[in-house]
Amino acid sequence: VPPSIKRFGCMTSVPWLTLIGMDAGGFASLSAEACAAVRAASVIMGPPRHLSVLPELPARKINWPAPFDAGLDDLLARRGSPVTVLVSGDPFWFGAGTQIVRHLDRSEWCALPGRSCFSLAASALGWAIDSSSAFGLHAAPFSRLRPHLCPGRRCLVTVRDGAAVPALAAYLAETGFGESQLTVLESLGSSDQIITTLRADDSISNVFHHPLMVGIDVAGSGQTLPQAAGLSDDWFDHDGQITKAPVRALTLSALAPRPGQHLWDLGAGSGSVSIEWLLSGPAMQATAVEQHPDRAARIQANATRLGVDWLQLVQTDNLAALDGLARPDAVFIGGGLRDQLLDRLWQTIPAGTRLVANAVTIETDRLLTSAHERLGGQLIRLELSQLQTIGRMRGWQAGYPITQWAAIR
């Protein structure tokens, strides 16, 4: 094997950690390879419900404690000694495997995945996985669904426990999608499997038992979140400090979001630019900087309501925030524009970073004109008018002209 090629796996090396995925079918549902690994194990860690269905074995069984990180500390303390860890379903599809192996070198572990809850749910419902949306909401807010709520869409969702089912139904009803059909799937893959179908706006008195999945066949008259940049301003709670929809669309075009990239939104106001940046793809990252407490609270509320609750919010002055932020791929200055900030940014951000700034006042317009002369980039003037009533007739009312500077460091 050439030195540049590394081979890993349970059959090609002897890692100290073996991850085994198990569904509600228990030990009997494991593959022959996984059964053999469990029987050969000297130490087995896992949640009590997994350990309780194992046959009599010589291995020492250790309950994975709560919170999850406590079990991770216990596992890492055993680093180098053979350990088998039981996790639910497929360890790397909304599973615990991802959190475990990020602390390890690739040569230290191997994985034997089980049947994922999503595969089991799709098989029970007859839904195509490739055209259904999958969400792990056992530790995330239901609002993660918001960008995906559209009549005709199908979603497969993990939830925390049985009490989360009526809460999920209430969320769908509140957003105007109470006609959605919910299929609650308990103990998937086991002989005790139960499937219950109901509408989100039904009065739910059922007691559902964990582990479970919910299939959502979305229906209703709720507003569907558009996928084009420049959402209507009424999607955002704001105090007037918002980059208006047409300007926001042009701003996002200049920022040019690319998969997995990180945006700094400086002087974020309502957070509209950073929120739309995050809505452009599931791997996007953004940090909103806003020093006013009321606006910061609105940003967080807007982000959560629109399904991008992972937006990082820093409540401080733009300049004060710069040293503590993770490396950006793009920067937008929506408020607090001044020459000291521009100079510091140009010295701080890495080469290749896209920088976009909008100006409304004469003073900030001069700053951007000067920056363009010194640093290059593109300078454009945006002048927008709206139709307004004038007595019994109508006419165009011009808004403040906006100067936009876009440059690459």
187-235 per-position pLDDT tens digit: 888 888 999 999 999 999 888 988 889 999 999 999 999 999 999 999 9
Residue 181 tokens, joined: 């059909």
The pLDDT of residue 112: 96
At residue 3, does pLDDT exceed 80? no
CB 203 within 8 A of CB 173: no
Per-residue pLDDT at 210: 81
Q: CA–CA distance from 5 to each of 1, 8, 285 (Å)?
A: 7, 10, 32
SS3 assignment, position 71: helix
What is the spatial distance between Cα 289 and Cα 314, in angstroms, rounded to a whole number?
5
212: which 2 tokens?
């479970």
Per-residue pLDDT at 152 exceeds 90 = yes
What is the model's pLDDT at position 211?
A: 81
The pLDDT of 251-259, averaged and rounded, is: 97
For the residues 137-161, what does the mean pLDDT come to?
A: 95
Per-residue pLDDT band for 10 (boundaries 50, 70, 90) equals low
Confidence label for 141 from pLDDT (cuts 50, 70 and 90):
very high
Task: Give the burial string for 140-173 (b: 16+ CB within 10 Å, else e).
Answer: bebbbbbbbbeeebbbbbbbeebebbbebbebbb
- Tell me, rounded to whole angstroms, the distance of Cα 353 from its chain centroid: 23
**Neighbour-count burial of 409, counting CB atoms closer than 10 A to its CB (0-12 exposed, 13-18 middle, 19+ buried):** middle
Label residue 258 by pLDDT band (50, 70, 90).
very high
Task: Report the SS3 class of residue 225.
Answer: coil
The whole-model pTM stands at: 0.89
Write down the pLDDT at residue 6: 52
Average pLDDT over residues 351-363: 96
Alpha helices, DSSP H, located in 221-317: 245-255, 272-279, 293-305
36/339 Cα distance (integer angstroms): 67
Beginning with the edge strand found earlier in the chain, give each strand of the sheet holding 181-186 in spatial order.
133-137, 154-159, 212-217, 181-186, 194-199
pLDDT given at position 335: 86
pLDDT confidence of residue 11: 47
Concatenate the DSSP letters of all residues of 344-368 into one string. Answer: HHHHHSPTT-EEEEEE-SHHHHHHH
Read off the pLDDT of residues 104-126 as tens digits, 9 standing for 90 and up: 999 999 999 999 999 999 999 99
- Give yes or no for residue 177 having a pLDDT over 60: yes
Give the model's pLDDT for residue 67.
Answer: 86
User: What is the token pair recorded at 222?
Assistant: 């709720």
